[in-house]
Amino acid sequence: MSDDFMLDTDDLERRMDGAISSLRTEFASLRTGRGSASMLDPVMVDAYGSMTPINQVGTVNVPEPRMVTINVWDKGLVGKVEKAIRESGLGINPQLNGTIIMLPIPELNEERRRDLTKVAGQYAEHARVSIRNIRRDGMDQIKKGKADGMSEDDQKIWEGEVQEMTNKFISMIDEQLEAKQAEIMQV
């Protein structure tokens, strides 16, 4: 390989890892028939004059697969937390027990499960597009190196390396999508 051209494959890989990490976060927010603490991440509570995530006003636990509990630290915020959950669009009806809010997770019907698998597919496609954009950036750097005097053999080697990395991350996305769709469709 050419001594003067060096593609930063670590940077490309770090950026592709970021796309995968973002996909995992989006998948975690999808509600399946099971409870998870991360499903409450997008819910914000009007606490102390500012919008605050639920996990900063109470302890979120998952004592059993179909139940999430929130132990609110400040008794005065219990009503606000309950209201935030009701208005969040999660489709969960909170039940109060003192400072503990219980969230029974209802069964998903077949139609809702299919809708969620489509949403998961959209999230995966966004991640694939991100990976392809990162690949394009790498290929543009290689083309610039070619213009600066890199040999054609070196160009092919670098392009092969970037393509191999892209294929690896795209297949990781496909595997995660398949697993998430199976989890959603599981009754």
Following DSSP, what letter does each residue of the chain receive, concatenated?
--SS----HHHHHHHHHHHHHHHHHHHHHS--SS--GGGGTT-EEEETTEEEEGGGTEEEEEEETTEEEEEESSGGGHHHHHHHHHTTTS----EEETTEEEEE-PPPPHHHHHHHHHHHHHHHHHHHHHHHHHHHHHHHHHHHHHHTT--HHHHHHHHHHHHHHHHHHHHHHHHHHHHHHHHHH--
Give domain status of residue 69, yes or no: yes
Number of domains in the chain: 2
More confident residue, 108 or 164: 164
Task: Report the share of the chain in percent with pLDDT over 90.
Answer: 52
Cα–Cα distance measured from residue 39 to residue 43, given in angstroms and rounded to the nearest whole number? 8
What's residue 4's pLDDT? 64
pLDDT digit string, tens, across residues 58-104: 999 999 888 999 999 999 999 999 999 888 767 788 999 988 999 98
Give domain status of residue 36, yes or no: no
What's residue 173's pLDDT? 96
- The stretch 16-40 carries a mean pLDDT of 82
46 in the same domain as 98: yes
Question: Residue 142 pLDDT more than 90?
Answer: yes
Give domain status of residue 68, yes or no: yes
What's residue 31's pLDDT? 65
81 in the same domain as 22: no
Question: Residue 13 pLDDT more than 70?
Answer: yes
50 in the same domain as 116: no
pLDDT digit string, tens, across residues 152-177: 999 999 999 999 999 999 999 999 99
Question: Residue 8 pLDDT more than 80?
Answer: yes
158 in the same domain as 137: yes
72 in the same domain as 125: no
Give domain status of residue 56, yes or no: yes
Domain membership of residue 132 as a residue range: 9-28+109-185
2 pLDDT tier (thresholds 50, 70, 90):
very low
What's residue 129's pLDDT? 97
Give domain status of residue 33, yes or no: no
* CATH number, domain with residue 79: 3.30.1360.40
Question: Could you tell me if 7 and 164 are in contact, meaning their C-beta atoms sit under 8 angstroms apart?
Answer: no
What's residue 150's pLDDT? 87
* CATH number, domain with residue 20: 1.10.132.20
The pTM of this model reads: 0.68
What's residue 105's pLDDT? 82
Give domain status of residue 113, yes or no: yes
Neighbours of 111 (CB within 10 A): 8
